[in-house]
């Protein structure tokens, strides 16, 4: 099984005065469909507004820049949960399957949010399909005025105005007068619906190496967003030791440049590539991956398509090779001295590896 795993930039889906939406297309990157994952990036200019919509897959949004208000409505049979939440740089927010959301930039600078989702039950594997409620492509415009009139018990003329007055598609820019009518987000909901993963205590932190933080907050499971979110920060020339996961992982490079390698079936090196800010790459389940930063360091955010994904490590005390010495020696077919040194390095090592002078290490 050959998969094209090369890192990729998004395509432009739409750009307007209010901002732009960019997506990674399954047709251009078949691995997205094969792995049932998808991603998109939303850019909102000041007063930029994303019309109410819902999507065919659960996803998480990670705020790369700016501040934003998020209106979120979750249908629950005969009732619904509604919230207007403020998010800022570093926040992770879950967006449940079939929930309606709208997004508004009430700040003075651009908002940039990357969305990472699971398309197992989506219409198009590897892509997020959106359903708009208003505007030329919205549901109100599609139904006949008579049906809208009956639904809201208004005249057919008024129903026609409801359906046809909004000319903007997906993204628009509110006027100053319209912007004044948008209330401030409810700050009390921040700790319930979001987690600032940038500011959270890391699971692993290594001097001169970097840190790894896994998002652990209730909404991901409570609202049915079964994704595991991780933020990885690598210092200059540092590396993330090789690891594999029980589920597919998708990585977005938020900052910096570096190199990524992945090993797949039959010990084949299936990915060996330079990566840079703005690119996305996918690592299929059980494939081993390692990431190394260049001189300026790297920041990445990733999801695994399960909130309970199991991670297997090749390095550190948690290494899956850290077993009975004689078994390690027989498996590697090396001297007892090298086996002892190898095991010692596992015992004292970490999953984030600071820059290492290999010549000095080897006594050269």
pLDDT of residue 363: 47
What are the sequence ranges of the domains in the chain? 11-192, 200-361
Q: What is the pLDDT along the chain (364 residues), one digit of tens a residue?
A: 567 899 999 999 999 999 999 999 999 999 999 999 999 999 999 999 999 999 999 999 999 999 999 999 988 766 677 888 999 999 999 999 999 999 999 999 999 999 999 999 999 999 999 999 999 999 999 999 999 999 999 999 999 998 888 888 999 999 999 999 998 887 666 667 888 999 999 999 999 999 999 987 655 566 567 788 999 999 999 999 999 999 999 999 999 999 999 999 999 999 999 999 999 999 999 999 999 999 999 999 999 988 788 999 998 888 898 888 888 888 989 888 898 888 888 888 899 999 976 555 554 3
Same CATH fold, 200-361 and 11-192? yes
In the block, tokens 């290594």 appear at: 206
- Measured CA to CA, the distance from residue 315 to residue 325 in angstroms comes to 16
Query: What number does CATH give the domain 11-192?
Result: 2.60.120.10
DSSP code at position 323: S
Backbone angles phi, psi at 318, to 5 degrees: -85, 10
DSSP 191-257: HHH-EETTTSPPSEEETTTEEEEE---THHHHTT---EEEEEEE-TT-EEEEEEESS-EEEEEEEEE
pTM (predicted TM-score): 0.92
pLDDT of residue 152: 92
Output the CA–CA distances (angstroms, integers) from residue 14 to 40, 41, 136, in the order listed: 12, 11, 15
CB 1: neighbour CB atoms within 10 A?
Answer: 9
- Measured CA to CA, the distance from residue 98 to residue 225 in angstroms comes to 11
- Measured CA to CA, the distance from residue 239 to residue 262 in angstroms comes to 14
Residues forming beta bridges with residue 257, ordered by sequence position: 276
Query: What number does CATH give the domain 200-361?
Result: 2.60.120.10
């Amino acid at each position: 099984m050959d998969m094209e795993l090369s890192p990729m930039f998004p395509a432009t889906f739409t750009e307007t005065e209010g901002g732009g939406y960019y997506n990674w297309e399954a047709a251009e990157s078949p691995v997205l469909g094969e792995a049932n994952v998808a991603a998109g990036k939303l850019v909102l200019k000041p007063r930029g507004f994303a019309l109410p919509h819902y999507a065919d897959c659960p996803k998480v949004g990670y705020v790369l820049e700016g501040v934003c208000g998020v209106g979120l409505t979750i249908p629950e049979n005969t009732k619904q949960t509604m919230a207007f939440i403020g998010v800022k740089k570093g926040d992770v927010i879950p967006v449940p399957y079939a929930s309606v959301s709208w997004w508004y930039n009430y700040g003075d600078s651009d908002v940039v949010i990357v969305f990472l989702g699971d398309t197992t039950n989506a219409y198009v594997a590897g892509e997020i399909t959106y359903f708009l409620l208003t505007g030329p492509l919205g549901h109100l415009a599609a139904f006949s005025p008579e049906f809208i009139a009956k639904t809201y018990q208004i005249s057919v003329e008024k129903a026609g105005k409801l359906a046809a007055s909004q000319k903007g598609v997906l993204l628009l820019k509110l006027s100053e007068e319209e912007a004044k009518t948008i209330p401030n987000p409810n700050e009390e909901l921040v700790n319930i619906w979001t987690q600032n993963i940038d500011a959270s205590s890391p699971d692993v932190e290594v001097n001169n190496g970097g840190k790894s933080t896994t998002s652990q907050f209730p909404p991901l499971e409570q609202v049915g967003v079964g994704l595991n979110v991780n933020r990885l920060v690598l210092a200059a020339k540092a590396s993330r030791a090789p690891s594999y996961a029980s589920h597919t992982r998708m990585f977005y490079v938020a900052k910096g440049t570096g190199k990524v390698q992945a090993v797949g079936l039959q010990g084949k090196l299936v990915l060996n590539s330079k990566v840079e800010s703005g690119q996305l790459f996918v690592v299929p389940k059980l494939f081993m991956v390692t990431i190394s930063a260049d001189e300026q360091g790297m920041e990445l955010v990733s999801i695994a398509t399960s909130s309970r994904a199991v991670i297997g490590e090749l390095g550190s005390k948690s290494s899956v090779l850290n077993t009975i010495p004689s078994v390690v020696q027989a498996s590697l077919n090396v001297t007892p001295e090298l086996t002892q040194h190898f095991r010692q390095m596992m015992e004292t090592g970490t999953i984030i590896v600071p820059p290492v002078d290999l010549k000095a290490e080897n006594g050269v």
